Structure 1
Amino acid sequence: MQKRLVERVQLRPDYALLKSIPGVGPVLATTIMLETGAITRFADVGNFSSYCRCVDSRRESKNRKKGEGSTKNGNRYLA
């Protein structure tokens, strides 16, 4: 399967960096690379984490909870 994946997808230099993370194999690295696009479009790590649905969506004002917000924002394949 890996051979077909490499033939169909044009891998960027980020692919090797993603594969160096423990637990990230060729399929997951390719999925992250393709779903994320250019990582430079995110201003900081918090924006990327939010895009991946890894942080809670919460709105507060003066320490009062205003609601949970939309839990469907972001990329469902990176969740």
Structure 2
Amino acid sequence: MEVAVAAGVSGIAADCGGLLTCATCHVMVAQPFAALLPAADGEECAMLAFTATPATPSSRLSCQIILNAELDGLTVELPASQY
């Protein structure tokens, strides 16, 4: 999320700054990367229930994705609307 915000990626508002309180950094993670991520915890799942665009099985809050070498090349799809 921080990388996307710093790069000016439109569609990732990240209004809460990564505090897991707004869901405006909702993304759908492409395979095979979605399978490489740890499962979303209860707090993240609860926030995904309130996204403007319905969550999918590959939905994540980008503020909860910790980048590492295994995720090099990670691609995501942005929802139609974050608001």
Fold similarity call, TM over 0.5: no
Which has the larger helix fraction? 1
Structure with larger RCO (C-alpha < 8 A, sep 6+):
2
- Choose 1 or 2 for highest CA Rg: 1
